[in-house]
Structure 1
Amino acid sequence: MLVIDDEAQIRRFLDIGLRAEGYEVLLAADAAAGLALAATRSPDLVILDIGLPDREGHEVLAELRQWSQVPVLMLSVRDAEDEKVRALDGGANDYVTKPFGIQELMARLRALLRDRVAPAGAAPPRYDDGRLVIDQARREVWLDGAPVALTRKEYAVLALLLRHAGRVVTQQQLLREIWGPSHVHDTHYLRIVVGKLRQKLGDDPAAPRWLKTEPGVGYRFQGGRMD
């Protein structure tokens, strides 16, 4: 969960409440820090205050929606109907006014997270070549029968390459879809993640089994077919 709110008491209150429910929590006191965390840490849900010191929450929501469909719950002391309509029309998934009860907030968060679950029969395909298993429905990776612990970014890169198996995915496409459009030139991010992926998969870049570099262009997943 990413909380973007300039009130220290609210951040502390939410941090304690969310952690008590088992969520990992990221905290930001302004728009700049919040957008940076959203781009680099890929939260499952964003709690966004409207009254931030550096930018309006509506502006932050608009920028976020340019590259992410993460559920966003807006927080504000403003309870006017037009404020709520503006936020929901702008892409927010829910709107809660301050002060609020923690139990109601948790129920709303659980509902937003449930909405993200894929419908029955829509599970993504599973890759299994006898050595490497990528279960996209469970977001799990196994190598020679042992689980492989990947970070969010490592898994996101692997899953995107897998979806385009056999085809080159450009560096810009990977950066745009995973880090956001403001990071399309930050190729060092991608090199670091691909390097760690190869290390964890034991994939020799000089003679790759799965992750092939197309110099100056991008990367290609060269495994077999998915189930």
Structure 2
Amino acid sequence: MEHATVLLVDDEQGLLDLLTFTLSKYGIGNIVTATTAQQAMEILLQRDISLIVLDIMLPDGDGFDVCEKMRNITEAPILFLTAKNQDIHKIKGFELGADDYITKPFNPTEVAARVQVHLKRMQRVQIVSRAVYDFGYFAVHKKSGQLFVQGVEVPCAPMEFLLLTFLCEHVNLIFTASELYEKVWQPYQTGDEKTVVIHISRLRKKIEPDPKNPQFLINIKGLGYKLVRREGYTR
């Protein structure tokens, strides 16, 4: 993680200084900061950013809008940092591509620990492996952390890729949302089954010919989700 670069975005300079100090104690030395949405986007276009901690309330823009713009140019994990703790805000953040949600007031060591976890997960995605899961219509290359749909590479956020890889490794097996959360997310971050449901929906938009009528990532009523192969698409 010594080569990872973390972008902190918040309009409170004191908070940025505190997080920078805490992250450095955790061995994360490459840290850049921004106090506005414009500064954050400029940095993101100029630097190779590994992870973003993003405040929702910024002086020149809404963090939700900024997150959506960021997702157009990077698949780096995005951790929302905000005083809003309503479920509707969390759901909106996840739908726009956020990977985690931290509510103020917070313990800075908790933020550092979560940053470490997400950076380690990114490394896991990039771990050398010979595994290629080919479903005909789409293929998952675990070695390079890539998703290809009809031969075209499709960006896939780290948690989406880890969830899809887990399902590929357990094809045709049924998992409840809580089991998927436990296997893929826990024990490293707090949350609930809604996180899984939102990521399932995002994956379907990428790997399904018709997301509203899923053929691969299906829901077995009363039992859970499973990933299946389809003869018409198998190579």
Q: Does 1:220 align with 2:226?
A: yes
Runs of 4+ that moved beyond 6 A: 29-32, 34-37, 113-116
How many residue pairs were aligned? 166
Q: Does 1:156 align with 2:182?
A: no
Alignment of 1:21 with 2:21, yes or no, is no
Give the 5 Å matches for 1:1-227.
1-3=6-8, 6-7=12-13, 11-12=33-34, 15=40, 20-23=46-49, 25-28=52-55, 33=81, 41-42=98-99, 54-61=105-112, 64=114, 69-71=117-119, 118=127, 122-123=128-129, 125-176=131-182, 177-178=184-185, 182-186=190-194, 189-203=195-209, 208-223=214-229
| TM superposition shift of 1:212 | 2.3
Normalising by structure 1, report the TM-score. 0.51
CA RMSD of aligned residues (A): 4.6
Shift of 1:138: 1.8
Which amino acid is 2:81 matched to?
A
Deviation of 1:204 after TM superposition, in Å, equals 5.4
Q: Are the counterparts in 1 of residues 208 and 216 from structure 2 also a CA contact under 8 Å?
A: no
What is the distance in 2 between the residues matched to 1:116 and 1:205?
25
With over 3 angstroms needed to count, the CA separation of the structure-2 counterparts of 1:217 and 1:34, relative to structure 1, is: farther
1:66-87 CA-partner distances (Å, limit 9, x unpaired): xx72349xxxxxxxxxxxxxxx
- Secondary structure in 2 aligned to 1:191? helix
Q: What SS is found at the alignment partner of 2:200?
A: helix
Gapped regions of structure 2 (runs ≥ 5): 1-5, 18-32, 58-78, 231-235
Please, which runs of 5 or more residues in structure 1 have no aligned partner? 44-52, 73-112
Offset of 1:183 from its aligned partner?
A: 2.0
Give the direction of change, closer, same or farther, for the CA distance of 1:164–1:114 in structure 2 (3 Å limit).
closer
Looking at CA atoms only, which structure, 1 or 2, has the larger radius of gyration?
A: 1
Deviates more, 1:193-202 or 1:10-19: 10-19
Residue 138 of structure 2 contacts residue 148 of structure 2 at CA under 8 Å; is this kept in 1?
yes
**Identity, % of aligned pairs?**
17
